[in-house]
Amino acid sequence: MSGGMPLWREIAQSLEQQIRSRELTPGDKLPTEHELSRQFMVNRHTVRRALSDLQEKGIVESTQGRGSFVRRPSRPSRLQKRPRFTEAVLERGAEPTTQILRLEVRPAISAVAEALGLRIGAPVIFMERLRFVDGEPTALGLHHFSFERFPTFIEMYRVRGTITQTLRDSGVPDYTRRKTSISARLPTPQEAEQLHVPRHVPLMIRKYLNVDGLGRPLEFGESRATGEIEIVFQDPERD
């Protein structure tokens, strides 16, 4: 003990401080038990007790054979009738930003054509975006729109900067989510690099269909999100 504090607690507090000060960020791997034992000059049992304390607090997660990693904070994810990423993040007092990875016209593959009511091979606008919350990458977004319906979408989006505003200026004042499917899988090497997550941490995959006020297919999209996500189901009639 040091000053009446157990050694394991000193180690836990030291690691927690490094995480709070962002010396260690979400997804970072902690030093091994052997390295921590040498650093703090204690046995491995003491190190394990410290790591166990951090796991109980939800600060780190450990996987046998891989080690311990800084855990991404849990955040609520509502299945809403009118989902709006930017508005939702701002409501939580956080700062949303977006990086466009691809914005182009391409032929519709089978799944996209079926969702949007198009023929296979019909031109669609494809956009891939990396979404950030307070500077941390949180999701990859893939979006598909009918090029025939929105021939100036790309030019307008580059000016407006948001899908909602671009659609509004294209004659779609409002849109809602008709269908969402949820699954999980491990990230590809490229996704792990883009989202700053270890390869063993699953992504939550949401595929969805948005429709306009007349119920016509508007957007077929997919979100690949990081972190511990709490799904909150919201009654569409109350949205």
- Supply the CATH number for residue 63's domain: 1.10.10.10
Asked if residue 196 and residue 114 are part of one domain, the reply reads yes
**pTM for this model (two decimals):** 0.67
Last residue of a domain, one of 55, 70, 85: 70
Q: Mapping DSSP to helix (H, G, I), strand (E, B) and coil, where does residue 8 land?
A: helix
Overall domain count for the chain: 2
Asked if residue 88 and residue 61 are part of one domain, the reply reads no
1 assigned to some structural domain: no
d(CA 161, CA 100): 10
Residues 224, 192 contacting (CB under 8 angstroms): no
What is the CATH number for 195?
3.40.1410.10
Decide: residue 86, CB within 10 A, 0-12 exposed, 13-18 middle, 19+ buried: middle
- Per residue in 40-74, pLDDT tens? 999 989 988 999 888 888 888 887 777 888 877 65
Last residue of a domain, one of 15, 46, 70: 70
Asked if residue 219 and residue 134 are part of one domain, the reply reads yes
Exposure string of 150-173, with b = 16+ CB inside 10 Å and e = fewer, is: beebbebbeebeebbebbeebebe
Last residue of a domain, one of 70, 95, 121: 70
Grade residue 93 by pLDDT with cuts at 50, 70 and 90. Answer: confident
- Per residue in 188-231, pLDDT tens? 999 999 998 888 888 889 999 999 999 999 999 999 988 654 44
Give the domain range for residue 53: 7-70
d(CA 175, CA 188): 32
Asked if residue 97 and residue 57 are part of one domain, the reply reads no
- Is the confidence at residue 235, as pLDDT, over 70? no
d(CA 146, CA 212): 13
Residues 15, 54 contacting (CB under 8 angstroms): yes
